[in-house]
Amino acid sequence: MSTKPSVLITGASSGIGATYADRFARRGHDLVLVARDKARMDDLAERLRRETGVAIDVVPADLTDAGQMRTVEVRLRDDRRIGILINNAGANVAGAFAEQPPEDIERLVTLNATSVMRLARAVAPRFAEAGEGAIVNIGSVVGLIPEFSSTVYGATKAFVQFLSQGLAHELGPKGVYVQAVLPAATGTEIWTRAGADAASLPPMMEVGRLVDAALAGFDRREPVTIPHLHDASQWDAFQAARQAMIPGFGTVEPAPRYAAATVA
């Protein structure tokens, strides 16, 4: 068993989650893999055990199911070997908002937003008490771009970004590192699972390069990592513009542009 903290990774059966598993195993961390597809996780775990020698537990769970969610929450709360949470599980739904079945939208919000919040909440008190630990939440640049017309998916990812930044302010002073990773288009199965035609997809970042960039940000303790963004000053300017508005939110009078029109 490794002396390094164990890493719990959701959505670990493929794509970004499976790649995080590979990278952390090669760093010498034991793993707890969580996803619906037990067979694929078993195959991944067997290969990584053979190649790296780390210990790996496989926990089949559908994070949209309340009972199965609670199983993962209990593991995070009680297993003090787990020192890193990778909140990666996510999905999308095909079509425009008015065409998406309400039941599919509800499942999407539960998986992409509610599960991220609940798993972070399950582990945060223990990390804060210990004065160490890391929570990595996988968001998306779509959360910054309503023009992409991926309304509910983008809204869930905006939630993940805000949650991560809020947690960083709350937990950072207590020794807990929180990172939001915001990928742009990356070559994973999320596209075909949402009904996209694989032949019509544009060029995308390879998932290994995405995760390696995210881990470089992790090692630097960046609060927000955007692997696709080459000009980091643009994010700095975005943050500065947002923070410049904060003092104005404390005023007690409406802005002059909202003054009532004079009645003749």
CA dihedral 229, 232, 238, 243 (to 10 degrees): 140
Number of H helices, E strands in the chain: 9, 7
* Structural domains for the chain: 6-237 (3.40.50.720)
Q: Averaged over 225-242, what is the pLDDT?
A: 97
Under the phi-then-psi rule, with left for phi > 0, alpha for psi from -120 to 50, and beta for the rest, what region is 151? Answer: alpha
Q: Are 30 and 55 in contact (CB under 8 A)?
A: yes
Pairing relationship of beta strands 224-225 and 177-181 according to DSSP bridges: parallel
- For residue 191, pLDDT beyond 70: no
8 A C-beta contact, residue 133 and residue 84: yes
Confidence grade of residue 188 (pLDDT, cut at 50, 70, 90): low
Query: In DSSP terms, which residues pair with 59 in a beta bridge?
Result: 34
User: Catalytic site residue 258?
Assistant: no
**Position 195 confidence tier, pLDDT thresholds 50, 70, 90:** low
Contact 40, 14 (CB under 8 A): yes
Long-range CB contact pairs, 95-104, < 8 A, 24+: 95/195, 96/149, 96/151, 97/151, 97/152, 100/152
Contact (CB, 8 A) for 50 and 74: no
Per-residue confidence (pLDDT) for residue 193, from 0 to 100: 65
Q: How many CB atoms lie within 10 A of CB 36?
A: 16
Helix (H, G, I), strand (E, B) or coil at 163: helix
* Residue 189 binned pLDDT confidence (cut-offs 50, 70, 90): low
Give the DSSP per-residue string, 38-52. HHHHHHHHHHHHHHH
H or E segment and range at residue 173: none
Query: Minimum mean pLDDT among 56-65, 153-162, 193-202, 248-257: which range?
Result: 193-202
Alpha helices (H) in 79-199, listed in sequence order:
102-109, 115-130, 151-171, 190-193
How confident is the model at residue 200, as a pLDDT?
Answer: 64
Mean pLDDT along residues 55-74: 98
More confident residue, 262 or 114: 114
- pTM reported for the whole predicted model: 0.93
Average pLDDT for residues 5-28, to the nearest whole number?
97
What is the pLDDT, as a whole number, of residue 154? 96
